[in-house]
Structures are given as structure tokens and as C-alpha cells.
Amino acid sequence: MELLWVSSAYLAGLISSRLYVPPLVGYLVAGYALHAFGVQMDATLAHLANIGIELLLFSVGLKIKLRSLLRREVLSVGGLHLLIVTVISMLFYFSFGGQIVGGVVLGISLAFSSTVLAIKVLEDSGELSTLYGRDVLSILILQDVVAIGLLAFADGKTPTPWAFCLLLLPFLRPVAYWLLTVSRAAELKLLFGVSLALAGGALAEKVGISNDIGALLMGVMLAGHVEIDEFSEKLWGLKEAFLVAFFLQIGLTDLPNYGEVLQALALTALLPLQGGLFFALFLLSGLRARTAFVSSLALMTYSEFALITTKTVVDAHLLPPIWESIIGLAVALSLAIAAPLNHFSHRLFSVLETFLVRFERKVDSSDRLPSSIGGAEWLVMGMGRMGTSAYHALHKQNIRVLGLDADPTVLEKLLAEGRRVVYGDAEDTELWEKIPLAKIKGVILSMPELEVRVSSVKQLKMRQFAGHIGTVCFDVDEETKLYELGATFVIHPLIEAGKQLAEQMLSSRD
């Protein structure tokens, strides 16, 4: 049976990914297909699904940072969005009679966006560390925290007096930090994370609290460790593997009938309203139309948490069981629609730019483009390790150089070091329109994504830039394409590093 589950999930996920749709949509479809062929869900799959949820909540806990949740954009946009949807859902579900509580919980759950899809899209495009990427991630974490509260509320368990012992978990942080540090091997760190998640779930269940809450608290306890990002990456793949069981379980529960399909389609049709609400709130917070648009597209989905909260509400007899299949299908459809839209988000904005920029507020904000570049004669776009090295090399020769980057953390660090850097996203066409290119002698493009380097060269040539354009490539095809578009100088970092290493060793021999 396990082979049937895994192989069907793999094949359906593979087909979905080839269609530019998240694999989890394929897992849901695989569950529906298995159910149609008479395959029944058993206790083993349910147990694996529960482990997947605990690992998901543990991973969320690892990312919770109070500082990031208290930022203006996060509270104003994420908080107001949840509040507005909550009020609307309360009014809408008033007709549910005795099921008002379940209806409200369901309504709030539909305000959550897919963490899995958003992070996947941002990672694939290399925009997770950009200004809008950080805003989206912080809003998702805020939603996840609220979702945990909903789970605790809907679960209906009565905690024992020993539940207060969970408040003592932060005092165990030094021990947890030490254990993570001494677990040098990658597999030991992975086992340590799984052990903490399962221990948190078991401990919470013993004191009458949802095991998901316990897993989350264990994650929060470990958050802040210097190796937490690397640790989270190691846990990501394992968590995704176990979550496959959860998505299969949703499909195996029941096939939606004609009426349920119509209700799922109706919920899917409401997605543009969710995206429009996010867009309006981002604009009200002072962000530019471009940032607001791409952020809203990343959040215009229904979340995996809606599946979890719906299951909890149904198990508590606050909603009829049909809602599990309705929400499962609605989530799958929302992800299938959102994936290609996010893939082409920057191109879509270029088409709609003239219309959308009319709604911008003319106020200072963190994503405002530089109004002046001073006396800079050279620009370095992308201030990672490669871009920073290029900046330092030019600066040492007393060349007036300006660095641009879309990552606010990078800008903050470089400004503290006394470097001349400003906010700038290479994919933003307005940036190239505003920069006075006439007095710029050269532009260095050090972004790792080929698509971004290609679009930047195109933008420069479109604006009749006569200076030098230097960039990088990682294979012969990239080099040929960049030269054809108009790049002046293209190097392969690894090849150049090999040449320099050999030259240095030969010179030291003499």
C-alpha cells in the first residue's frame, strides 16, 4: 500500500510540476484518484500526516521573530486583511444558525495564503530576500500564528493544570542551543529537529493541548540560533515528504460531488477579491504599485492551513464533513491558478503598469526608487559577494561607484560600513527609467538569475545606454545570449577563479 501511495503521489506531482503547477496540487489529485479506484485511507497514512503537520508547525516556529512581525507593513496589511475578512465572514456565516462558530473559523482560515507556494515562488525567482519577499514572508508568519490560535480554539480540548508547564520551555533554550551546536553532522541536526517536534507534540497532548501547538512552541524555543537558517533548510525536505501524506489524506477522505465542486469553484472565484484587498492595503501603507502588485499575487491563494483548520473544525462537529472536500478542492484550484500568475508577475505588471501606478500614494516608503545617484559614474547592481567585491575594486581606484540592491538587510549592513548603496530592484523597469544613464560610464550586473541579467541588459539597451555593461555567466549558452543582447564583457566566475588561482600559485613559486 505504501508503494501505491508514494508512486501515485510522485507521478501526479511530476505531471503537475511539468505544467508549472505546485506538486502538492498533484498530491491532492492523486488522493482523489486513489479514492475513485476504491483505495481507503488507513491509520498509517493518518499517522504520517500528523507527523507532517507537526513538522510544518515546528518549521513555522523556527521563523517566528517578534521584530519582523511588528513592522508597519506587516501589521497594517496583514492585520487589517485578517480583521476585514473576519468581519465579512462573521456577517456571511450568520445564516449558519448553530454552526456560526465553525463558519467564522472557516471564513478566517480562507484569509490565509499558501506559505508553501509563496516561499517556493520567491526562492525559485531569487526574491525571498528582497523587500517585498520579506514583507510577504512576515505576513505569512503572522497568518500562521493566527492559524495556530484558531487550531487551539477549534480543537475544543480542555487543558490540564500542567499545561502551564509549557511556559517553562523558553528556560530550556540554552540546552536546546547547545545540543544543536554539538550536533555537527547534518543527519544529527535533522534527527534533533524531528525529535524536538515530536517531543513538543507528545508533551502538549499529555497536558490536554493540541500536539500542533506543542510542536510550534518547540520551534519558537529554538528560533534565534545562529545556525537556524541552515537548520531550517535541512528540515524543509523531510517536512515536505511527510506533508505528502496529509494531502493524500484529504483526497482519500471523499470525492466532491457536483454541488461541492460548484461551491469550491465559487470560493476560487473570490480569490481576485482577496488579491485586490491585499493590493489596496499595500498601497495604503505607502508601497509602490509594483511592490504591491507582486506581493498581492504571491498572497492570492488559499493556504494549506485552511485544510488543517477545516479538518479540526469538522472533527469538533462545528461544520459538516462535506467542507473538507470543498476546501481541499478550493485550495488545489487556488494553487493551480496562482503558480503561473506568480511565475509571470513582473511581466503582468509591465502590461498593467500604466493603469496601476495611478493608485500610488506619493509618500516616502522603504521601496521608493532613488531620486538621485549623486556623482556616481559606475553602478553595481546586486550587492552580494560578487557585487561587493566589484564595488570594493572600483572604490580602491578612487572611482565614484554606487551599489544597488533589493535586500533591505544587505543595504543596512553596507550603509553601516560606510558604503554608498541605495534601494534598487533590477527587474523594476521604472528604476532604469529614473537613473540618469547619460553620465554613467559602466554598469556591473552581478545578479545570479539569468532572467534578471537578461532583462537588465535589454532595459539598458532600450534606453540607448552607451557605456560598458559587465556581467557574469554560468555556461556557454548564457554567455552567447548576453553578448547577443549587447553586454560588453561577460565572465564565468568559476573559470576566472581557476585562472587566478593558477596564476597566483605560479607567481608565488617564482
- Count Cβ atoms below 10 Å from residue 9 Cβ, excluding itself: 25
Same domain assignment for residues 195 and 303: yes
Same domain assignment for residues 174 and 249: yes
Euclidean distance between CA atoms 208 and 111, whole angstroms: 28
Q: Closest Cα to residue 10, out of 239, 233, 248?
A: 248
Of 483 and 328, the one with more pLDDT: 483
User: Which pLDDT score, from 0 to 100, does residue 380 have?
Assistant: 93
Q: Are 252 and 92 within 8 A, CB to CB?
A: no
Same domain assignment for residues 135 and 196: yes
Q: Which pLDDT band, with edges at 50, 70 and 90, does 403 fall under?
A: very high
Same domain assignment for residues 458 and 325: no
Q: Which structural domain, as residue segments, surrounds residue 391?
A: 378-509
- CB proximity list for 119: less than 8 A, separation 6 or greater: 128, 137, 140
The backbone torsions φ and ψ at residue 421, rounded to the nearest 5 degrees and listed phi first, read -135, 150
Same domain assignment for residues 310 and 391: no
The 10s digit of each residue's pLDDT in 152-201 is 666 656 667 777 777 777 778 888 889 888 888 888 888 998 899 899 88
Is 366 within a domain? no
User: Which pLDDT score, from 0 to 100, does residue 2 have?
Assistant: 78
Is 371 within a domain? no
Of 78 and 339, the one with more pLDDT: 78
Take residue 186 and report the three cell numbers written for it: 547534518
Cell 493544570 sits at which residue? 161
Euclidean distance between CA atoms 77 and 204, whole angstroms: 32
3-class DSSP state for residue 488? coil
The mean pLDDT of 205-224, rounded to a whole number, is: 79
Share of the chain above pLDDT 90, in %: 9
Q: What angle do CA 157, 160, 161 make, to 5 degrees?
A: 145
Euclidean distance between CA atoms 443 and 466, whole angstroms: 11
Does residue 470 register a pLDDT over 90? yes
Same domain assignment for residues 453 and 315: no
Is 370 within a domain? no
The mean pLDDT of 63-84, rounded to a whole number, is: 75
User: Which pLDDT score, from 0 to 100, does residue 391 have?
Assistant: 92
Same domain assignment for residues 324 and 459: no
Computed over every residue of the chain, the mean pLDDT equals 81
Share of the chain above pLDDT 70, in %: 89
H or E element, residue 491: strand 489-491
Euclidean distance between CA atoms 75 and 338, whole angstroms: 24
Q: Are 216 and 61 within 8 A, CB to CB?
A: yes
Does residue 141 register a pLDDT over 90? no
Question: Over 6-69, what HEC string results?
Answer: HHHHHHHHHHHHHCCCCHHHHHHHHHHHHHHCCCCCCHHHHHHHHHHHHHHHHHHHHHCCHHHH
Same domain assignment for residues 337 and 275: yes
Report the number of distinct structural domains present in the chain: 2
What CATH code is carried by the domain that includes residue 353? 1.20.1530.20
Same domain assignment for residues 81 and 174: yes
Is 18 within a domain? yes
Q: Which pLDDT band, with edges at 50, 70 and 90, does 110 fall under?
A: confident
Range list of β-strands (E), 331-484 = 378-381, 401-405, 421-423, 442-445, 468-472
Domain endpoint, select from 304, 325, 359:
359
Does residue 147 register a pLDDT over 80? no
The backbone torsions φ and ψ at residue 27, rounded to the nearest 5 degrees and listed phi first, read -65, -40
- CB proximity list for 337: less than 8 A, separation 6 or greater: 268, 271
Same domain assignment for residues 329 and 391: no
The mean pLDDT of 390-410, rounded to a whole number, is: 88
Q: Are 345 and 294 within 8 A, CB to CB?
A: yes
Euclidean distance between CA atoms 248 and 48, whole angstroms: 11
User: Which pLDDT score, from 0 to 100, does residue 411 have?
Assistant: 83
User: Which pLDDT score, from 0 to 100, does residue 278 have?
Assistant: 92
Does residue 352 register a pLDDT over 80? yes
Same domain assignment for residues 37 and 157: yes
Take residue 420 and report the three cell numbers written for it: 554608498
The 10s digit of each residue's pLDDT in 36-49 is 888 877 788 888 88
What CATH code is carried by the domain that includes residue 463? 3.40.50.720
User: Which pLDDT score, from 0 to 100, does residue 281 have?
Assistant: 92
Domain endpoint, select from 359, 392, 409:
359
Is 369 within a domain? no
User: Which pLDDT score, from 0 to 100, does residue 337 have?
Assistant: 84
The 10s digit of each residue's pLDDT in 369-379 is 776 778 889 99
pTM of the complete model: 0.71
Is 474 within a domain? yes
User: Which pLDDT score, from 0 to 100, does residue 364 have?
Assistant: 67
Take residue 225 and report the three cell numbers written for it: 540560533
Domain endpoint, select from 331, 359, 387:
359
Same domain assignment for residues 136 and 247: yes
User: Which pLDDT score, from 0 to 100, does residue 98 have?
Assistant: 47
**Exposure of 205 in the CB half-sphere (CA atoms within 13 A):** 11
- What do you get for the CA distance between the two ends of the chain, in Å? 68
